Structure 1
């Protein structure tokens, strides 16, 4: 039997995140999330929270170049950038208060483990041809419910929130409120020994 879902957030009723969501956040720069299909099945995936909060976001699931062919065509007519820490990435921290801030109409964000993100990049070389943006200084990772693969890893929600703060000066607090709420709801139903394993790193 399938669990009953909330009509608004589509989380199971026992882990509904609606009480932690504020007003819709209106972002000028469109966020396009290329999500590995396996991530959509994970209840703790933070893209679901972003989709509930942002007014200007699109999520496309896939892995191969064929999966994203339509998206690639649409992006060709826009000023796009990929949020990715490559060696030649422009660090937004350095341009935030300068006239030279890049013009980005659409930010492409990859959602998946580092291994899956790397596979998407290898299968879609056109992504490497986009301008890349990254950060010099990262906020502290608050996504304790899911183990980070790298010390500098951020969840998709945290990375997107930090970008919108630097690029559009959108306060990140509502994003973190939703994230904390989701973590609270998910851990509330965990056995105590499992809960301690997640929260001991906080």
Structure 2
């Protein structure tokens, strides 16, 4: 039997996050383009779905190969774009100024580090985009999904931090929504299972 899902947030009815969405949506001026690995689409803990609920300007394209991202490639050719990706020549977002029109569109790769890196390797057109990184990484609050790297952030947290730095936009609604999703995903867990995700002093 297929589980019932919310028509709005598309989470299970039992873990619906609609009550945590802040209205109105955050009006981000920088267009967020998410290139999502196919394996992430069905992951209930994936945070891209939360971005689409809380941001006014976000688009998601699913795939791996260049042929999966034909629309995204056209966007990259016609806008001032950046790619959120670690690189020795990347620009730290903390030093960027939005009113100088450094970029108007941010590409973000969504997947495990291995899967995101695969998308980057299979899509050489991404190499032409300005690389953007973080010089002061915020604390990862996404405890319910194990990070492959100590410096990893969820896609929501990465976008939230970018918008805080680049647009001086308060990302509190995004963090509130993430906290709500974590609560809903863990509320039925036995206490001993919860302790695997959260430290007692959190």
TM-score tier after normalising by the smaller chain length: over 0.9
Q: Which residue of 1 aligns with 2:94?
A: 93
Q: Which residue of 2 aligns with 1:44?
A: 45
Question: By how many angstroms is 1:142 displaced?
Answer: 0.3
Q: Distance in 2 between matches of 1:74 and 1:91?
A: 23
Q: Which residue of 2 aligns with 1:10?
A: 10
Question: By how many angstroms is 1:174 displaced?
Answer: 0.8
After TM superposition, the structure 1 stretch with the greater mean CA deviation from structure 2, 185-194 or 59-68, is 185-194
Q: Distance in 2 between matches of 1:153 and 1:75?
A: 25
Q: Distance in 2 between matches of 1:174 and 1:126?
A: 33
Q: Secondary structure at the match of 2:78?
A: coil
Q: Which residue of 1 aligns with 2:80?
A: 79
Q: Distance in 2 between matches of 1:96 and 1:129?
A: 21
1:96-111 matches, cutoff 5 A:
96=97, 101=100, 103-111=102-110
Q: Which residue of 1 aligns with 2:65?
A: 64
1:65-99 CA-to-partner distances (Å, cap 9, x unmatched) read: 111123202320111000111111000212349x7
Q: Which residue of 2 aligns with 1:53?
A: 54
Q: Which residue of 1 aligns with 2:31?
A: 30
1:158-197 matches, cutoff 5 A:
158-197=157-196
Contact 2:27 2:57 survives alignment (8 Å) = yes
After TM superposition, the structure 1 stretch with the greater mean CA deviation from structure 2, 76-85 or 188-197, is 188-197
1:108-160 CA-to-partner distances (Å, cap 9, x unmatched) read: 00000000011101100111221011111011110001011111111000000
Structure 1 residues not aligned, in runs of 5+: none
Question: By how many angstroms is 1:195 displaced?
Answer: 1.5
Q: CA RMSD in A?
A: 1.5
Q: Secondary structure at the match of 1:66?
A: helix
Contact 2:96 2:166 survives alignment (8 Å) = no
Q: Distance in 2 between matches of 1:138 and 1:64?
A: 30
Aligned residues: 200
Q: Distance in 2 between matches of 1:73 and 1:184?
A: 39
Question: By how many angstroms is 1:102 displaced?
Answer: 5.1
Structure 2 residues not aligned, in runs of 5+: none
- Structure 1 runs (4+) deviating above 3 angstroms are none
